[in-house]
Structure 1
Amino acid sequence: MLGFLLRLLPFWVREPLLIAIGSVLGVRIMYLAVRDHDRVAAGLGVVFLVFTAIRVHAVIRALRARRNPSPTASADGTAVVAAAQPQAQAQAGTGSRPRPDTPEKEHNAWGQAVAAVAVFGALGAALWVGPRFMPSGDNAPKPASCSGGAHEELPKAYKNTPRPVTGEELCKALNRPDLAELLGTPEETATTASSTNNTAPLTDGKVAQPEAEVTFDTYTVNVSATYNELSTGQYVKLMKFGDEKDVKTLTVLGRPAVLSSDHTMKLEINLGSGGSGGPVGEGPLARTLSVALDRKDRGGYCDITVWSTSGALPNDSALLNIAEKVLPRIPERPAR
């Protein structure tokens, strides 16, 4: 059916169409054959290219016949002169134009067809070899993926806590593709991402406290969830007796929240003969957003902390934007 429809097309429509289809398919199939080392595909590609060469040869012959038409012959075999006799005599009087001594060399139709196939073959080779020598975007560093704590056995405190989030879940919620953009450094890529299923200190392992941390060149972001009985309101009152600075209460996604600043702890570990280590001073300043685990503030909170080694901090809006992305991934604490 398709062949019948193609035969209905005019010659100068059908042949260029067949040449275009044959060349594209031939080059593509040859490229795939070379890439996959498939001999069957290579043979099929050769068939398409040979078919294209034959069509190119036919078009070249048709163009040559149209450019140099042969004189019309009469019934007795003598050539019929198109011009009138007086006009021919006038032209004879003026004389014919001088022609070059050497006749014009005719082009070889098959040579042109082979040249066309060679051009398409060169294009196919360029498509195949080009990706090996051209720079690729795959050389860019890949962002860090969450690791650690994925296959650890959860402490007993997690089994006694209704619907607790795990460190791995926190890491997946925090390590978002747009986290660097939320921090104001969209050109950076996460270098490390980790998570743990810890318990809160000074609770004898009875309070679940999972956490996750993602590090960039500029900032480090830490998210933790503490499943204790301390409400955000009580937490704000305790800040009056601590070293927190720039305390600011607010509401995030309908939950009580508080912003505060405090220095991180700088640790030094001595692996010498003494094997001692411990805190030796204050680390860089960190900004923390603490949000209640539920709208009614029944107890427990989620901390989102950001700091940098240089001491620079992003705007508070960055912490709020991160909280709006992470908090929906943490189940609200049910009523007890």
Structure 2
Amino acid sequence: MSGESQARPKSASAWGQAVMAVVLIGGFGAALLFFQHTHADKEHAHAAPAATCSKPSKPPVKSPYLSGAQLCELLYVPDLADLLGTPGEKAQSTTTSGSTPPTDDKGLSGPYAQVSFPTWTVNLAVTYHNLPMAQTVKILGADARQHTVLGHPAFSYADRAIRISLGSDSSSGGSAPGAPSTVLSVSMDPQGSGKSFDLALWHTNGTLPPDDTTLLHLATTLLPTLPGWTPTT
């Protein structure tokens, strides 16, 4: 029996740096994403309790970077279903990345956490690098819709989640394009230095992607509470 999880969409900031890497060295290696996953049985979802964030097996190492487990705790707030416009829904599953952010600020992407409800699946990722957001917007061109979130530069774009299938022993499986999603990338600081919080949202049943309204509301409410967010002065 295999379990399925829709892992984080490709970060636009990651794509921007990937393009630069292709220009400079002619290619780049894709990093493996290791994650912990809890999933409610779909046949008994109505009777199952709400999902919870997985706890790390070891005490977290002190780091300036957020981990996937920390992001899950920060994303999975009690009123998350309300913020998504579906009050009363219970989360069916959570997923967190097990990858470690780079320590040289040159990695393509950082950790992520994901919470799936019957209606929506929302993903919160962190991108750590030195590619300014304005440059990423130029690379994306017409695909990027520019926004300002509480004085911070931001942009949104259409993407597609990646569906990962694992074997029963988590040793085999594969990936394939998943549901169409909308991604909102918001700079951690008002200067748009390159470090960003990336929120992605898609219909759990895989139908058409949402517009930007729900993501902007979620970002305005959630992001100012996260470590690393620099308020405007």
Q: TM-score range by the shorter chain?
A: 0.5 to 0.7
**Which among 78, 85, 102 is matched to residue 184 of structure 1?**
85
1:278-320 deviation per Cα after TM superposition (whole angstroms, max 9, x unaligned): 444x322010000011111222111100112332444422111
Aligned twin of 1:224: 125
Comparing both structures, which one devotes a greater share of its residues to helix? 1
Kindly tell me the number of residue pairs found equivalent between the two proteins: 181
Aligned twin of 2:111: 210
From the superposition, tell whether residues 140 and 270 of structure 1 become closer, same or farther in structure 2 (CA, over 3 Å).
closer
2:225 equivalent to 1:318: no
Q: Give matches, 1:48-197, under 5 Å.
A: 142-149=49-56, 151=58, 154=61, 159=63, 163-197=64-98
Runs of 5+ unmatched residues, structure 1: 1-138
Q: Give matches, 1:37-48, under 5 Å.
A: none
Comparing both structures, which one devotes a greater share of its residues to strand? 2
Larger RCO (alpha carbons 8 Å, 6+ apart): 2
Per-residue deviation, 1:208: 6.8
- For the aligned residue pairs, the C-alpha RMSD in angstroms reads 3.3
Aligned twin of 1:260: 157
Aligned twin of 1:302: 197
Identity %: 34
2-side partners of 1:314 and 1:208: how far apart?
Answer: 23
2:158 equivalent to 1:251: no
Aligned twin of 1:288: 183
**Which among 135, 139, 155 is matched to residue 238 of structure 1?**
139
Q: Secondary structure at the match of 1:198?
A: coil
**Which among 197, 221, 224 is matched to residue 328 of structure 1?**
224
1:192-235 deviation per Cα after TM superposition (whole angstroms, max 9, x unaligned): 2233352469x999577121111111211110111111221122
TM normalised by structure 1 equals 0.46
Alpha-carbon contact 2:81-2:89 (below 8 Å) kept? yes
1:27-62 deviation per Cα after TM superposition (whole angstroms, max 9, x unaligned): xxxxxxxxxxxxxxxxxxxxxxxxxxxxxxxxxxxx
1-side partners of 2:162 and 2:109: how far apart?
Answer: 22
Runs of 5+ unmatched residues, structure 2: 1-45
1-side partners of 2:107 and 2:113: how far apart?
Answer: 20
Structure 2 letter corresponding to 1:304: L
Alpha-carbon contact 2:181-2:210 (below 8 Å) kept? no
From the superposition, tell whether residues 179 and 325 of structure 1 become closer, same or farther in structure 2 (CA, over 3 Å).
same
2-side partners of 1:294 and 1:150: how far apart?
Answer: 32
From the superposition, tell whether residues 210 and 268 of structure 1 become closer, same or farther in structure 2 (CA, over 3 Å).
closer
1-side partners of 2:221 and 2:57: how far apart?
Answer: 22
1-side partners of 2:57 and 2:186: how far apart?
Answer: 25
TM normalised by structure 2 equals 0.64
Q: Which protein is bigger by CA-based radius of gyration?
A: 1
